[in-house]
Structures are given as C-alpha cells and as structure tokens.
Amino acid sequence: MIDFQNVSVTFKQNRKTVEAVRNVSFQINDGDIFGIVGGSGAGKSTLLRTINQLQKVSEGNVIVDSKAVNNLKSTELRLLRQNVGMIFQHFNLAENKTVYQNIEFVLKVAGWKKNKIQSRISELLEFVKLSDKADTYPSKLSGGQKQRVSIARALANNTKILLCDEPTSALDAETTSSVLELLKKVNNDFGVTIVIITHELDVVKSICNKVVVMSDGKVVESGDVYSVFTNPQNDFTKQLIEHTNNFDIPAEITDIIKGPVLKLTYLGDNAVESILSDTAKEYNIRYNIIHGKIEYIASKPLGILYVNIIGEDKNIKLVVSALKEKTFSAEVIYNV
C-alpha cells in the first residue's frame, strides 16, 4: 500500500516559492491501477516522484509498504528504488546501450547473478513481445517499442509497484492502446500496483480503477473511476470530463430542430429504449435521436444519448423531469 499523509512539496528558487503539492492525503491499495489526472503544473509529477523519493517531501509522510520512505537512509533508499519501477513519457532509455544492456543494467544494480540475468531478460522480452530486438539500440525502435522496453526494464527486478509519468503522451492512439493493454496485463498477471499520471481521461477510463484529480497542488476529487466519471462533484472535474465527453451538435442540425435537446446518460443496465418509448406514450411527445454512444469506464458501460423532444411545452417540462428520475442524468443542453 502507498499512503500519502499530509504531503506537501515546496520549491524555493531565487526568493520565489512554488507550492507544487499542498497537504495531499490519500491511499493507493495493492493491485490498484491508480490514475492521477489534472492540468499542467498541477503537481502530478512532483507527487508521483515522492513515492520513490526522486522528490523529497517538505512536509508529511509517504508510506510505502508500511515504511516512511521520506526518512530512509541512502542504502535503504536504493533498495526501495530497486523494488519500485518507473516509466516516463520520453522513455529515457540509455541510447548507447542495446535493449538487452538497458535491462541488464537494472538487474546488475539489484545484484542479480550473471547466470540468472540472461534468462530473466529473455523472459521479460518475451513478455513485452520484443524477443527479436535484444541487440537493437533504442534509436532503431518505434515509440511504442521503446515504451515496452522501458516497461520490461522497470519490471526486471520483479518490482511490485510501477510508477508511470505520462507513459502514452508521446504515442499515437493505436500505440497508446497497445501500451495500455500491456500495463493491464502487468497488473493482472503479476499483481503489480500501477500509479499512472495522465492528462488523457481516456487512459483513466480504459485502465484505472481509482483516480484522483489534482488542481493547483491539491487533490480536488478522488474515488473509483466509474463514480468520479459518472458523477463528478468538483467543478474542475466536471469541466475536465465535459471537455472530453461533449458532443457538439452540428450547425446543420441546430438550424432545423425545434424544441429542446437533452443529453441523457444512463448506466449500462438501464433499458433506455423502453424508457423512451414509455415516456413518449405517457406524455404524448416524440423523440428525435441525434447522437448516441456507449462509453466504457473502468470496463463498465455508460450510455450517452442526445435527443430532441418534440411536443407541447407543458408536456416537455413533465417529460424532462420524468427522465431525470429514470435515467442517470438528463440535462437540457440546447433549446430554441
């Protein structure tokens, strides 16, 4: 378990002080895939780096497996780092070392015996599907391959915690999903706890089970991913989520429609068709479906439907409030 207890980090530079992390407390359980999201400069990287003490805390404690890592002596600290892997946005592989040598370095650091190193590296390269690239230099690899090597390197010493700082931000969409699949597999096959910083909410939606949202050094929202996404409490989180979820109704459509447009969201188990047909009958209105999709958040479905309601004003009012009852949320986003 990773436990942040009132952690603050303050940078002092030429009389200027920056409070990068302010009094943050939360816990990450073993086996979690834990997302940290937030805008640029929110303090995400700074917080993540306190876990392996690449960043010292100014106040508070960071407890990793019941040890306060902020008080460790240098030899204990090195031991901690040997058991916590880390991957980066720009991979940070040694350029003048082959794939094999990059992983070998970490194993030598952790004191592996020569005769074990080779078989461990083959095992790791097989796991990340790069067995044929052992003797290749990083400059010859694609971004996705580099990230897979750095995952192999981070896990080499059988680490149980993997810290990821924007691991997919330098990758295209397709490569991103293959790297995310690999991280899922790492979590699933080896029970590795993964802490992942990202500014892409899609990353959180697709692999995380828990998430914290940071803004200006503080944690402004936390919880399991599905409830944070479906029911954000904090304004900043709402903005973030709307930003990615919103569908702009094309002008061609807004020009011709009359009446309100509703955004309905419904959890996977709500039978939305029957709700629509029932309410249409009951309130004597018609629905025009403009756009609909189902998103998977932490593997659970969330339906989003944009409908235009046609009917008499007083009926429309009634049906909107009825829909608010029957679906997860119903919100008028457009009205003429």
Partner 1 sequence: MFENILSLREDILEALLQTGFMVAVSLITAVVIGGLFGILLYTTSSSHFYKNEIVRKITGLVLNIIRSVPFLILMILFLPLSKIIVGTKIGPEAVVVPLSIASIAFFARLAEASLSDVNNGIIEAAFSSGASKSRIIFSILIPEALPSIIRNITVTAISVLGFSAMAGLVGGGGLGDLAYRYGYQRYQTDIMLVCVIMLVVIVQLIQWIGDAVALKFDKKYQ
Ligand X SMILES: Nc1ncnc2c1ncn2[C@@H]1O[C@H](COP(=O)(O)OP(=O)(O)OP(=O)(O)O)[C@@H](O)[C@H]1O
Give contact residues for Mg ion (rule: CB under 5 A): 45
Piece in contact with partner 1 (CB under 8 A), picked from 18-26, 131-139, 238-246, 251-259? 131-139
List the one residue from 24, 37, 43, 316 that touches ligand X (CB under 6 A): 43
With CB cut-offs between 5 and 8 Å by kind, which of partner 1, Mg ion, ligand X, none does residue 28 bind? none
Q: In the complex with partner 1, which residue's Cβ is closer, 88 or 266?
A: 88
Q: How far is it, in rounded angstroms, from Cα 269 to Cα 199?
A: 29
AA letter at 207: I
**How far apart are CB 150 and partner 1 at their closest, in Å?**
8
Binding status of residue 97 toward partner 1 by CB under 8 A? yes
Nearer to ligand X by C-beta: 84 or 316?
A: 84
| Closer Cβ to partner 1, 94 or 332, answer by number | 94
Nearer CB in complex with Mg ion: 240/302: 240
Q: How far is CA 308 from CA 18, 190, 267, in A?
A: 48, 48, 20
**Residues 267, 230: contact at Cβ < 8 Å?**
yes
d(CA 32, CA 118): 30
CB of 312 to ligand X, least distance (A): 50
Binding residue count for ligand X, defined by CB under 6 A = 13
Q: Residues 6 or more apart from 267 whose CB is under 8 A from it?
A: 230, 300, 301, 302, 303, 328
5, 26, 41, 291: which one contacts ligand X (CB under 6 A)?
Answer: 41
User: Which of 12, 15, 40, 95: binder of partner 1 (CB under 8 A)?
Assistant: 95
Question: Checking phi first, is residue 113 left (phi over 0); if not, alpha (psi -120 to 50) or beta?
Answer: beta
Q: Please report the sign of the dihedral spanned by the C-alpha atoms of residue 107, residue 78, residue 163, residue 169.
A: negative
Q: Give the per-residue contact string, 104-123, with partner 1 (x = CB under 8 A; - = no).
A: -xx-xxx-------------
Query: Do 82 and 69 contact (CB within 8 A), yes or no?
Result: no
Rounded to whole angstroms, what are the CA distances from 305 to 39, 41, 320, 328?
A: 28, 34, 14, 11
What residues are paired with 26 via a beta bridge? Answer: 4
**Residues found near partner 1 in the complex (CB under 8 A):** 52, 54, 77-86, 88, 90, 92-97, 105-106, 108-110, 137-139, 150, 153, 157, 163
Binding residues (CB under 6 A) for ligand X: these are 11, 13, 18, 20, 38, 40-46, 199
